[in-house]
Chains A and B, each alone.
Chain A
Amino acid sequence: AQSVSQHNHHVILSEAASLELGCNYSYGGTVNLFWYVQYPGQHLQLLLKYFSGDPLVKGIKGFEAEFIKSKFSFNLRKPSVQWSDTAEYFCAVNSKYNFNKFYFGSGTKLNVKP
């Protein structure tokens, strides 16, 4: 079965600091990769996704993620965080051959201090 690991459960940063959230997955086949974000009091929403092609993908609000196939990783980055980035971030993966099932990591809570 597929699994997704997010090793940072809680991250605290000051505004303008750089962010990198780790995501590793275990699956032997071809996968699609996603980052979802949940702002306080809001529902989960898509931040960015990778299907194929350029392993560096850019999403909304200045976020980007890099797919490193050899490391089974899809880390999320942002050069300079803002207070409004305070949220919980979930990495997710699905198989290209059974794409109905998304597997989510346990989430990383990001707290940005103003």
Chain B
Amino acid sequence: GAGVSQSPRYKVAKRGQDVALRCDPISGHVSLFWYQQALGQGPEFLTYFQNEAQLDKSGLPSDRFFAERPEGSVSTLKIQRTQQEDSAVYLCASSLRRDPNEKLFFGSGTQLSVL
């Protein structure tokens, strides 16, 4: 596709529910990032993939958060037993090469609301 695609665009979950957020990066992009953006804040790093390898997951806030990119393209961010504090916009970004100082291309995000 022309850009990074994320789905769903909006997700409302009841507290305790599991959710799965999908990211389709630009075709051929090696690097993929997930960020969490709380209301009124800037994006905060969650995790980074290089192809299918998850090289950095230091930003995942708890073991309820899990991300995968099994074939080195589409990625899924899963949140188990959602809590109200998980409410945020989840952004996915990709870049062409292994060097992330190349431009990051962001998706429009998934806005998660946990009730």
Give the B-binding residues of A (Cβ under 8 A): 4, 6, 32, 36, 42-46, 49, 51, 90, 92, 94, 99-107
Contact check, A104 vs B43: say whether CB atoms are below 8 A apart.
Answer: yes
Partner of B42 from the list A43, A49, A101, A106 (CB cut-off 8 Å) is A106
Shortest C-beta distance, B36 to chain A (Å), equals: 11
State whether B107 touches A100 (Cβ < 8 A). Answer: no
Assuming the A-B contacts A43-B3, A43-B109, A45-B106, are A107 and B56 also in contact, with contact meaning beta carbons closer than 8 angstroms in the complex? no
Chain B residues packing against A (C-beta within 8 Å): 3-4, 31, 33, 35, 40-45, 48, 55-56, 58-59, 91, 93, 99-101, 103-109
A residues less than 8 Å from B35 (CB atoms): 104
The residues of A that contact B3 with a CB separation of less than 8 Å are 43
Q: How far is the CB of B90 from chain A (nearest CB, A)?
A: 13
Q: Which chain A residues border B109 with CB–CB below 8 Å?
A: 43
A32 contacts across to B, CB distance below 8 A: 101
In chain A, what residue has the closest Cβ to B91?
Answer: A44
Q: Which residues of the other chain, B, contact A94 by a CB distance below 8 angstroms?
A: 100-101
Task: Give Cα A32 to B105, complex, Å.
Answer: 17
B58 / chain A contacts, CB cutoff of 8 Å:
101
B108 partner, pick from A43, A90, A107, beta carbons under 8 A: A43
Chain A positions within 8 Å of B99 at CB level: 99
A-B contact pairs, 5 of them (CB 8 A): A32-B101, A44-B106, A102-B33, A104-B35, A104-B43
* Chain A residue, CB-CB nearest to B104: A46
Set of chain A residues within 8 Å of B48, measured between Cβ atoms = 100-101
Interfacial chain A residues near B93, Cβ < 8 Å: 44
CA distance A27 to B106 in the complex (A): 25
A100 with B55: CB separation less than 8 A: yes
Contact of B43 among A6, A90, A99 (CB under 8 A): A90
Q: How far is the CA of A34 from the CA of B103 in the complex (A)?
A: 10
Minimum CB distance partner of B3 in chain A: A43
Cβ of B45 and Cβ of A107 under 8 Å apart? Answer: no
Chain B residue at smallest Cβ distance from A90: B42
Q: How far is the CB of B72 from chain A (nearest CB, A)?
A: 16
